[in-house]
Chains A and B, each alone.
Chain A
Amino acid sequence: MALTTLTTHKTPSGFLLPSIHSAPPFFTQQPNPVSQSAVTDHWINLILAYARYRRLFILRVEDAETAGSEWDEILRNERIRHRMPPSHLSTILAAMVQRNVAAYESPKQTRSALVYWRLPEEWADVLHRWAADTGQLNTILTFYDITDPPLESPLSGIPVLLLKKAISILSKSGKAQTISIADGEGVRFFAGGR
């Protein structure tokens, strides 16, 4: 009797794929809404976990169209020769946006989205803590100083769009202020609320 056993798998990057990733129907959009919602849940968990592991911020429908994307390890499973169809990925992205664990990168399109493996509110906390811990309160910082600091930080590589969201959250409680500087925008952080 043929027994299909689904097992976990460690990718070359060291990420441990859950066993459902080796279930062939996992890659197909399910016609039964209850089944599809289970599939969607699993995909969202997987995408967020992988994004957190690899520090990936943006997921595009294109990532499912051509090989060679940084998401290949989860969007493709060569062991069972299955891959995520772009239309299915697009549905998952929509579900993520709806559940507030992603936001379309520019609101007028639905082909690429910021993936919130940390919510903007959580990024705001991380950002403020980093500024405080590195003694950069009350100093004017450029966005580049934050996204590409000399010392690797929890914020290294954060997309400017997400950074701006975090800063605007901090501004509301008086913990940050955006400032126009010579070559664009900068930000200044303050210790506490005013």
Chain B
Amino acid sequence: MHRRGAGLAAFDRQEQSKRSFAQLSSTISQSQVDHLHSQLSQFRTALAHFASTHRDSIKSDPTFRHAFQQMCSSIGVDPLAGPRKGGWWAEMLGMGDWQYELGVQIVDVCVSTRDRNGGLIEISELIRLVSKLRGVNSGEITEDDISRSIKTLQPLGAGYQVVEIGGKKMVRSVVKELDDDQTTILAIAQEHGGRVVENMLVQKKGWTRDRATAALGNMLLRDGLCWLDEQGEECGRAHWVLSAIQWDVQSRPRCAFAAT
């Protein structure tokens, strides 16, 4: 067995090997950094290539867009991060613009239908109107796109929110909390094609008549979420939640934005 060095010379040798190890380590980390740099630039090139090839499909094909967004979130990249956050994704893909544009269109539809639906619109109806606004050639829009765009609107504090009522997704464009009773009423309205009468609430939900009257009155008078019908056949007064009614596509009344 080789004898381990002893004495002063051993110290020297130890110092020396320490130095060479340090040198080696810095060389290695340097090469790692270089390697990373080259990987990053390769990634950038690949991304730029991806962006230029798929930019149009991202904008026009909802399935592709969804897949892309899922990919982004799984690798922890925000495709909407603007240039200021150092996001060259947004620059290269124009994804941010696309999303903001959709946001503006959502606001347009929500505001222009508010007098009719009290600021609550079913998501499929919203998609239909937004698509109409965008014209034929701009590709399909999905619920997912709408939800994302609404999230981008959040910093504006306008209170846009996706809520689920009676198993249906709706977009609320007014800052107003729906209380439990209102949510129940909206769910019933959806089951009955938009029509709600006091008796339904009393019989099906076991509410007292006062509670039903008060809740419907609030929706009607305070929030404008439903319209009154005094000529109902059986029960006289009926309340109609207009956002739960299907409107004929061609003949939507006074649709300022459909003129184009």
B231 touches A6 (CB 8 A): no
A2 touches B192 (CB 8 A): yes
Contact of A25 among B192, B227, B246, B250 (CB under 8 A): B227
Complex: chain A residue closest to B191, CB-CB:
A1
Complex: chain B residue closest to A39, CB-CB:
B227
B195 at the binding interface (Cβ < 8 Å): yes
Give the docked Cα–Cα distance between A155 and B60 (Å): 53
Contact of B254 among A30, A31, A42 (CB under 8 A): A42
Interface segment, A15-23, A91-99, A101-109, A177-185?
A15-23
Complex interface bits, A14-56 against B, C-beta within 8 A gives 1, otherwise 0: 0010111001111110111011011101100100000000000
B220 at the binding interface (Cβ < 8 Å): yes
In the bound complex, residues from chain A placing their C-beta under 8 Å from that of B194 are 4
Complex: chain B residue closest to A26, CB-CB:
B227
Interface contact tally, CB-CB below 8 A? 90
B231 touches A24 (CB 8 A): yes
In the bound complex, residues from chain A placing their C-beta under 8 Å from that of B224 are 32, 34-35
Give the docked Cα–Cα distance between A51 and B118 (Å): 30
Complex interface bits, A96-129 against B, C-beta within 8 A gives 1, otherwise 0: 0000000000000000000000000000000000
Chain A, interface size category, equals 20 to 34
A9 to chain B minimum Cβ distance, whole angstroms, is 9
The listed residue with most B CB atoms (<10 A of its CB), out of A4, A8, A16, is A4
A66 at the binding interface (Cβ < 8 Å): no
Chain B, interface size category, equals 20 to 34
B248 touches A31 (CB 8 A): no
A82 at the binding interface (Cβ < 8 Å): yes
A69 at the binding interface (Cβ < 8 Å): no
Give the docked Cα–Cα distance between A150 and B246 (Å): 49
B193 to chain A minimum Cβ distance, whole angstroms, is 3
The listed residue with most B CB atoms (<10 A of its CB), out of A20, A39, A41, A85, is A20
B90 at the binding interface (Cβ < 8 Å): no
B228 at the binding interface (Cβ < 8 Å): yes
Give the docked Cα–Cα distance between A67 and B108 (Å): 41
A42 to chain B minimum Cβ distance, whole angstroms, is 5
A13 at the binding interface (Cβ < 8 Å): no
A19 touches B247 (CB 8 A): yes
B230 touches A28 (CB 8 A): yes
Interface segment, B44-52, B146-154, B198-206, B237-245?
B237-245
